[in-house]
Structure 1
């Protein structure tokens, strides 16, 4: 137990270290940034939620690359796609580590969760497994699961439209649960399913910058557990997620012994575990991370899609017309996606207009570097602020407006690409991150969003509600949840079938899907 005198000395030592850091001479050109206060720097100026809005405000004032001081730690914010790619992608061997976050990295995840791992051998071995499970050829093999789950979503939306948030979450989670662990989700109330969804939401919460003071003042982790409620909380969360990951893995292992295991991420890992050089727990965290990456993000994006269609019904009509021209009276499938550039443009614009991980996931520099005359010391943390990057007027003219035509018309040379049978697509799009830390599940997520957008356009009308006098009720353009990943707060809108025939077609497809389910 540390005495009161010991704690006093510890705090004095911390103050000396922070003052020393703040007085270190800088090399290279002075990097602009907001002024702070002694010891804490800009810590108190960073909002506890939606910090990317403040970062965007500072980028407008200080330029596309500026510095912050967070309790003596050096941070740099990047606000254009070019600068982020120059550093985080082109110099990926230097800029692919993660800042050590005592709560999320160690106390919660025992330094096993790939999202929070530094750029080390364990991260590289886990990334190799992720790549093999999610590369395009593998992602194509999961399309039947996505088609099946999308039919379930359409039927649920028609039956109980007010529960749209639940249906989107169940769609995204159901897809990844099936391909991750080989099991279907029937009701969304299965015990293991509810547990892993909760684990994912906890990770989003604790990974939010500023969620825990110990992440800004790491010395606090040395407080005895009995005196540190945050350490007690981390212990409970860690025990829950580890026991769940082990149980899910053991269930697949048992199914393999019985000869009844369906193809899944976990089955592939267990069959080739020696080659991946990962322990049971290391592999379990890799697959758990893929589940976390592929669930909340896809669901959040689709809720933003609904918001966009309610606010911009002209674009809903355009994608409906395109789907009707290609698929006619039948439900569209993956073979139709190359002929649906407007569908792909709408979902890409949704991700630009309302990015899910709006503040990006910070990278850490592992070696001194220089860029445009600026010097960056090893250990500096870099934030690719997606909110600002997606609002760069040079790359995205009229950036605050929802304009999918920027991906479809040669009038927008910054973003238009040919052929439209291939472009627009989401490959290497900044919403998935940068360089070696780009989201590993982007191939699966892109397919999930494309097929769901096309099928919603084919089957449903999304529209704002009207009052008793026929007046259209307002809905907020930006009222989003707090957290690592964000989505629109619940808003009321109508979901109806485009025609009785299409509602019946959804019901028939659901019956057929249930009887002809994949093994």
Structure 2
């Protein structure tokens, strides 16, 4: 009891000191500028207690409607600005990217859990630049094109299992996205979702999402708590233990590939490429292991989440599924599966994908950028050290760009009457540099791979399957919520019921035959289930 009282007193003293330091260091506003407007806060804590613990982007959207496209929050004295229009986000995070490409070094996720090794959270320094160069080598457009046979194989596998057990759609979509990156990153093929190595990797992924979620750890709000010794700070002991686990995982994967490379037995994969080009990058061994390992983190769940939202859209908008099927049938016919060569002639597939990511962005709250020096935007002062949050939920609902923004409407990308329409339709719409992937130098390096995956999956599922609301035992249609999403910074809809059936017996046979052929020709068939 005495220890807990001492701990509480130390915590309170450190928090009070932290707030005092932030208040004392308040920057001076340049002449002719002013702080942005924002919701009034409370003494000492500011807006800290006003922010919901989950889905904070919904509240941020309400505040944007009230205070404008750039508004200010104070969290216990720390500056946070929220950007809510594409124009403001582009000006700050793309055009002025040299000033807005860093990250705050949050104690919990960055320093303790990641050991300052995770590329997602690198500050804007030479390590960041070297890591981005490596990611570009692995994920650039020409490289992404070479991965299409692997995407074709895994999409056929997904379709085969989705038709057989549609209620397990979450698992099949997760296996597609994780299985694809498993092959590309580590040269290994997943047998199923129970692969022990895959479970270890997913444990790391889920830990990052949990720890980095806003409000998960008090030390992120009051960094001065890092000064506590480990025996007084259980959060330190916990997160350092988790860091040891993930560091061992990524190092083991890289060392295993190095041994195979030296023996001439390594399959083509990202880790082999890094090992062969390692001298070209000024990265430590641990940084290199984390770059490749965390590319899996970035890709394993996001594509699956986007596809779950697309299924939700089709359940609520069966007329859009019929439009998709009509165009796919006209271009592809009924005697083969859609492939990548069909995509220039399937603008509605691309529109459905883009509208899904607009309507239900995977990273709905965006990831914050950190300003490195004082700046002024539209008369509003942005001090150095300010977190800039691009709120994708609000950015994708800007009425000037997206009329009737709450409506799922792929035609906004296909009809000249909408401001988002672009020609030619053999090229547009596409997902390149779309704000759902982030902004500027922090844009998702795997966007070329993600775009190809989502387009192919949408086309193939729509070609093969009918999707509709399920009829319950009482004879009534089962209700499916429009917005019932998991918490975290990457979000997907909670499991929902729907009926999925094959459109014809002939299409069923084509899927089964394609699956058999792909599995027989799998270049990694001897490496399944490592």
Q: Does 1:311 align with 2:311?
A: no
Q: CA offsets per residue over residues 366-414 of structure 1, 9 Å max, x none?
A: 01111111121110110010000000000000000000000001011x2
1:357: Cα distance to partner?
0.2
Q: Distance in 1 between matches of 2:388 and 2:233?
A: 30
Q: Deviations over 1:216-248 (max 9, x none)?
A: 110112222222221122122111111111111
Query: Are the counterparts in 2 of residues 98 and 119 from structure 1 also a CA contact under 8 Å?
Result: yes
The answer to whether the Cα contact below 8 Å between 1:74 and 1:381 also exists between their aligned partners in 2 is yes
| 1:197 CA displacement | 1.6
1:323 and 2:328 matched: yes
The CA deviation string for residues 28-87 of structure 1, in whole angstroms up to 9 with x for no partner, is: 134100110111111111111100001001001111111110111111111000000011
Q: Is the 8 A contact 1:18 1:39 kept in 2?
A: no
* Alignment match, 2:502: 497
**Aligned residue in 2 for 1:14:** 18
Secondary structure of 1:462's counterpart equals strand
Q: Which range moved further: 461-470 or 263-272?
A: 461-470
**Distance in 2 of aligned mates of 1:10 and 1:52:** 30
Deviations 1:461-505 (A, max 9, x none): 121101346432211000000001000001111121111111121
Distance 1:286 1:81 in 2: 29
Match of 1:427 in 2: 432
Contact 2:369 2:388 (C-alpha < 8 Å) held by counterparts: yes
1:346 to 349, 352, 370: 352
Q: Which runs of 4+ in 1 moved over 6 A?
A: 1-8
Shift of 1:443: 0.5
Instruction: Name the stretch that deviates more: 11-20 or 157-166.
Output: 11-20
Map residues 108-147 of structure 1 onto 2, 5 A cutoff. Answer: 108-147=113-152
Question: Hey, what does 1:26 align to over in structure 2?
Answer: 29
Q: Does 2:398 correspond to 1:392?
A: yes
> What's 1:333 paired with?
339
1:382-421 aligned within 5 A: 382-412=388-418, 414-421=419-426
Q: Could you say what secondary structure the match of 1:84 adopts?
A: helix
Please state whether the residue corresponding to 1:489 is helix, strand or coil.
coil
Structure 2 unaligned residues grouped into runs of 5+? 525-530
CA 1:314–1:122: 2 relative to 1, 3 Å: same
Distance 1:10 1:189 in 2: 45
> Are positions 1:174 and 2:204 aligned together?
no
TM-aligned CA deviation for residue 6 of structure 1: 6.7
The alpha-carbon deviation at position 21 of structure 1 amounts to: 4.5
- The Cα of 1:15 is off from its aligned counterpart by 3.8
Q: Work out the CA distance in 2 between the residues paired with 1:381 and 1:243.
A: 31
Given that 1:303 and 1:487 are in contact with CA atoms closer than 8 Å, whether structure 2 keeps it comes out as yes
Within a 5 Å distance, the mapping from 1:110-509 to structure 2 comes to: 110-328=115-333, 329-412=335-418, 414-468=419-473, 470-509=475-514
Q: What does residue 515 of structure 1 align with? A: 520
- Does the aligned pair in 1 maintain the 2:35–2:72 contact within 8 Å? no
Moved more, 427-436 or 283-292: 283-292
Once the two structures are TM-superposed, the CA of residue 25 in structure 1 deviates from its matched residue by 4.7
Report the Cα distance in structure 1 between the residues aligned to 2:229 and 2:152, rounded to whole angstroms.
51
Q: Residue 216 and residue 85 in structure 1: after superposition, are their counterparts in 2 closer, same or farther (change >3 A)? A: same
Bigger Cα displacement from structure 2, 130-139 vs 203-212: 203-212
Q: Deviation of residue 7 (structure 1)?
A: 6.2
CA contact (8 A) 2:48 2:74 kept: yes
- Change in CA separation of 1:185 and 1:375 when aligned onto 2, cut-off 3 Å: same
Matched, 1:63 2:68: yes
Question: Separation in 2 of the partners of 1:252 and 1:14?
Answer: 46
2:85–2:398: 8 Å Cα contact kept in structure 1? Answer: yes
Q: Quick one: distance in 2 between partners of 1:30 and 1:204?
A: 31
TM-score for both structures, normalised by structure 2: 0.95
Q: C-alpha separation between the residues in 2 aligned to 1:432 and 1:188?
A: 26
Gaps of 5+ in 1: none
Q: What CA distance in whole angstroms lies between the structure 2 residues aligned with 1:221 and 1:353?
A: 39
Q: Secondary structure at the match of 1:183?
A: coil
Looking at structure 1, the residues matched to 500 and 275 of structure 2 have their Cα atoms a distance apart, in angstroms, of 43
Once the two structures are superposed, what CA deviation does each residue of 1:309-333 show, in whole Å capped at 9, x if it has no partner?
A: 0000011111111111111121011
Question: 1:279 and 1:408, CA in 2 relative to 1: closer, same or farther beyond 3 A?
Answer: same
Q: How far off its partner does 1:8 sit?
A: 6.5
- d(CA) in 1 for partners of 2:296, 2:60: 29
Aligned CA RMSD, in angstroms, stands at 1.6
Which of residues 55, 60, 81 is equivalent to 1:50?
55
- SS of 1:486's partner is coil
Normalised to the residue count of structure 1, the TM-score between the two structures is 0.97
Give the structure 2 partner of residue 94 of structure 1: 99
Give 3-state SS (helix, strand or coil) of 2:500's partner.
strand
Distance 2:19 2:202 in 1: 41
CA distance in 2, matches of 1:158, 1:423: 30
Greater shift in the superposed pair: 435-444 or 6-15: 6-15
Q: Kindly tell me the number of residue pairs found equivalent between the two proteins.
A: 517
